């Protein structure tokens, strides 16, 4: 894992909606900064026209004890960006690499273990999302269905409302919303929580309110602040996390899951073989 570094920028982005206007100004500086410079509190406060106390509050909202601890971590992992990317291929690949680094920074191994336990203990799993998040939900259904998980993806708003009524403590519900604001997805999670189902939100934002109805909130990188985020599929950050969950789940019962996957592949290919014979 030496190729990846913990990115403080990913932590800033995931907390972005919690910041005041002044703190967003500070956040924007650290998100978009591309060169080494004097990051001392006094120097930066003057540069950004903010108080040193604002820098301290900003650092604490990011989960650090203070600005000194924050800037130490930021400086340790800071990689000066290259300006000589010659073509679109380099730009796109660089953006993907940045997203991989940010995913590594946000992954919580203990949280993954808890979510995998939910998957193992649940009799029925639902995963819901709209738009590109809905496509990711459908892909998640296909992946986990092939290794024996009883899972349904829901991408229709009315279906989310109706299915929410029939949840219970034996179910697990994944909600996928990069913005963390998709009303139908949040409604499904809230109603499922009321019925004592385990609920997991996959999003790029941290909000205190999620704790009221989510068993776990899995953070993925946001495309919002990337220089070339507009050319990257919105599904990509979700797909990475689904792959990580899939890998952890398979590892818990490797032989049995591999057999199930092989059986489903053979079952799918069987129909084509019969058609060929005809």
- The rounded distance, in Å, linking the Cα atoms of 99 and 221 is 6
How far is Cα 12 from Cα 31, in angstroms, rounded to an integer?
Answer: 8
pLDDT in tens, 128-171: 999 989 999 999 999 999 888 999 999 999 999 999 999 999 99
CB-based contacts of 233, cutoff 8 Å, min separation 6: 132
H or E element, residue 224: none
Mean pLDDT of the chain: 86
Whether the CB-CB separation of 174 and 220 falls below 8 Å is answered with no
Residues with Cβ < 8 Å from 1, sequence gap 6 or more? 104
CA torsion through residues 163, 167, 173, 177, sign:
positive
Pairing of strands 198-203, 171-176: parallel
In tens, the pLDDT along 90-115 reads 777 888 888 888 899 899 999 999 99
| 3 state SS of 188 | helix
Residues 238 and 220 sit within 8 Å (Cβ to Cβ): yes
Q: What is the CATH number of domain 108-267?
A: 3.40.50.10490
% of residues, the chain, pLDDT over 70 = 83
Domain boundaries, the chain: 8-83, 108-267
The pLDDT tens digits of the residues spanning 252-261 come to: 876 555 555 5
Assign 180 to helix, strand or coil.
coil
So what's the architecture of 8-83 in CATH?
Answer: Orthogonal Bundle (1.10)
């Amino acid at each position: 894992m030496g190729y990846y570094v913990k990115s403080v920028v990913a932590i800033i982005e995931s907390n972005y909606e919690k910041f005041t206007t002044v703190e967003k100004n500070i956040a924007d500086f650290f998100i978009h900064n591309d060169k080494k410079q004097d990051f001392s509190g006094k120097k930066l406060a003057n540069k950004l026209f903010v108080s040193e106390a604002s820098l301290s509050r900003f650092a604490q909202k990011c989960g650090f004890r203070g600005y000194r601890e924050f800037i130490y971590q930021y400086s340790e992992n800071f990689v000066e960006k290259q300006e000589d990317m010659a073509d679109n291929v380099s730009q796109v690949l660089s953006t993907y690499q940045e997203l991989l680094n940010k995913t590594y920074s946000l992954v919580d191994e203990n949280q993954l273990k808890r979510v995998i336990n939910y998957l193992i203990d649940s009799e029925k799993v639902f995963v819901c999302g709209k738009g590109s998040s809905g496509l990711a939900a459908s892909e998640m259904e296909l992946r986990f269905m092939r290794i024996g998980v009883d899972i349904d993806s829901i991408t229709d708003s009315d279906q989310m409302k109706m299915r929410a009524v029939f949840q219970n403590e034996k179910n697990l519900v994944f909600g996928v919303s990069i913005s963390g604001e998709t009303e139908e997805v949040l409604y499904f999670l809230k109603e499922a929580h009321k019925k004592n189902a385990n609920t997991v939100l996959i999003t790029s934002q941290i909000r205190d309110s999620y704790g009221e109805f989510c068993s776990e909130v899995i953070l993925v990188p946001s495309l919002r602040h990337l220089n070339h985020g507009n050319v990257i599929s919105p599904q990509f950050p979700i797909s990475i996390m689904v792959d990580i969950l899939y890998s952890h789940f398979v590892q818990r019962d490797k032989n049995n899951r591999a057999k199930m996957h092989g059986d489903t592949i053979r079952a799918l290919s069987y129909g084509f073989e019969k058609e060929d014979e005809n």
